[in-house]
Structures are given as C-alpha cells and as structure tokens.
Amino acid sequence: MKARIAPSILSADFARLGAEVTAVVEAGADLVHFDVMDNHYVPNLTIGPMVCAAIHPLVNVPIDVHLMVKPVDRVVPDFAKAGASIVTFHPEASEHVDRTIDLIHDCGCRVGLAFNPATPLQWLDHVLEKLDLVLIMSVNPGFGGQSFISGALDKLAEARRRIDRANRSIWLEVDGGVKVENIAAIARAGADTFVAGSAIFGSTNYEQTIADMRTELTRALEEADVEAH
Ligand code: DX5
Ligand code: ZN
C-alpha cells in the first residue's frame, strides 16, 4: 500500500503562505490539503479559489481541496480552474449528491465524499463506484488542532471493507487529530491518505515530522504483514 501524507495548510502561517506550501512540499508532502470553510456549513471562514490559484504554480503535487461549504456546486468550476486535482465535499451540503459527483468529474477533477463523525457510511451504498476518495473525518469539521475521535477507527475499517469490495482504486483519507503518535493505529484501521495540519505546521521541522510519520507507517504495515502470515 502506498501511504500518502497530506499536510493541511489550515495550520500554516498565512502571512507566509507561499513559503509555507513550498517548504512542506520540499519536506516530502504527497498532497497539499486545502480546507475551504464558509461560516455556514461550518462555523469558520478560511480561503477560496483565488488562494488556490495563487499557490498552484508553487506546488508540484496535487492540491486536495476539502470543501466545507453549502451549497457545493457553485464553487466547483472555480476550484477546477484554480488548479484543484481532487475536490471533496460533504453529502449534507449538497441537495443532489450524485449530480455533484458528476459535476466534479466533468470539471476534470477527482472526487471525494467526506463523512463527519455522525454521518453514516450508508451514503456510499449508491455512489461508491463513482468515487475516487472517501474521507473519514476524525474531528468535527471547522477547526485545526482538535483531538482525534477514536470512533473513526471502526469507521475507517468499515470504509476499507467497502472499498476493497469495490472494483476500482479509491483512496481512503482520514482528517483530524492525526499525529506521529497515532498514525500507526490509523493506518492499521485501513487509511492510506493522512491529513495532518497542526502536527506538521506546528512542528519546528516539517521534514523530520513527515519522516517520523512515514517511519510509523512502515512499522504499522510491517506488523500487519506479519499478522497476515
Ligand atoms: C478540519 C479540517 C482539517 C484540519 C486538520 O475541519 O478539515 O483538515 O486542518 O487539522 P489537524 O490535523 O490539526 O487536526
Ligand atoms: Zn480538511
């Protein structure tokens, strides 16, 4: 399994955002996670397509846009034009989930569906085959620096079972409270893509923190391998 680390720029120093994204990509980020909040779907307000377009020329890894906005569809083409590779949205924020999935694909982006801690995975029953990514929220969306909600581990395991039964490659991403200390347990539950905001941007050495996460991931996957044989 290829594990991907996606630093969330929500915890970056916004006064130096260009330097921050450049630094985190040089430090080994596989994706740049871009949190969009609207003070309506979630109680916070962050950044939009103009900022995405501004950082796009600076990064040579995919920009992973996490839309925490309602309604969703109006802004999808804007983010596609701004250089988003992946656009993930919350089902509660769209009146027509299947239509929003098609819209994101039609705009040339990969599409993800995000699940809040209390959102059931049943939303996947009819759309999993169309998705490129499933995002399990391990905090309630809106803020960086919150603690990992342990119930997300069972949910990840259930999402992993569903994805393994599906007939295509679908990434399983986790978002919220991911740290060097818990990333191994999260990987064992089945995640392959790890968003981390405060754990990376709050550290003094991004490269070391990402390397420490990869060491933990390697250890977790080796242990899983031993258990399987
Ligand atoms: C929360 C955001 C997260 C956030 C994660 O609503 O979606 O991406 O930045 O931050 P940490 O890693 O600090 O929990
Ligand atoms: Zn996010």
How far CA 133 is from CA of 34, 157, 206, in Å, comes to: 15, 15, 25
d(CA 40, CA 127): 25
Cα 226 to averaged position of ligand 1 atoms, centre (Å): 32
Q: What is the predicted pLDDT for the residue at 167?
A: 82
Q: Hey, which of 38, 39, 139, 174 would you mutate to test ligand 1's pocket, going by the most ligand atoms within 8 Å of its Cβ? A: 139
Q: Domain ranges in the chain? A: 4-228
Pocket test for ligand 1, best of 198, 200, 206, 210 (most atoms within 8 A of CB): 198
Query: Which residues are catalytic, by number?
Result: 35, 175
Residue 65 DSSP code: E
The C-alpha atoms of residue 100 and residue 178 are separated, in whole angstroms, by 28
Where would I find the H helices in 39-191? Answer: 49-55, 76-81, 97-106, 152-165, 183-189
Burial of 154 by CB count in 10 Å (0-12 exposed, 13-18 middle, 19+ buried)?
exposed
Which distant-in-sequence residues (6+ apart) come within 8 Å of 179 by Cβ?
148, 196, 199
Quick one: pLDDT at residue 124? 98
This prediction's pTM? 0.98
Can you read off the two tokens belonging to residue 208? 């070391």
Q: Which residues contact residue 19 at a Cβ distance below 8 angstroms, ignoring those fewer than 6 apart?
A: none
Residues 168-223: tens digit of each pLDDT = 899 999 999 999 999 999 999 999 999 999 999 999 999 999 999 999 999 998 88
The span from the CA of 20 to the CA of 34, in Å, is 13
Residues 6+ apart with CB under 8 A from 135: 66, 88, 112, 113, 114, 115, 173, 174, 175
What's the rounded Cα separation, in Å, for the pair 206 and 113?
28
Average confidence (pLDDT) per 10 residues, the chain, 229 residues: 94 98 98 98 98 98 99 98 99 98 99 98 98 98 98 98 95 98 97 98 98 96 79
The answer to whether the CB of 110 is under 6 A from ligand 1 is no
The pLDDT, as a whole number, for residue 179 is 98
Task: Specify whether the CB–CB gap between 89 and 67 falls below 8 A.
Answer: yes
CB of 36 closer than 6 A to ligand 1? no
- How many other C-beta atoms can be found within 10 angstroms of the C-beta atom of residue 103? 20
Comparing CA positions, the residue from 142, 220, 227 lying closest to residue 181 is 220
DSSP state letter for 41: S
175 lines ligand 1 (CB under 6 A): yes
To 5 degrees, how large is the angle CA 165–CA 170–CA 171? 125
What is the number of the ligand 1 atom nearest to the C-alpha of 177? 14
Q: Does domain 4-228 correspond to CATH entry 3.20.20.70? A: yes
Q: Which residue has the tokens 């990376």?
A: 200
Whether 8 lines ligand 1, by a CB cut-off of 6 Å, is: yes
Do residues 178 and 156 touch, judged by C-beta distance below 8 A?
Answer: no
Atom of ligand 1 nearest to the CA of 197: 12
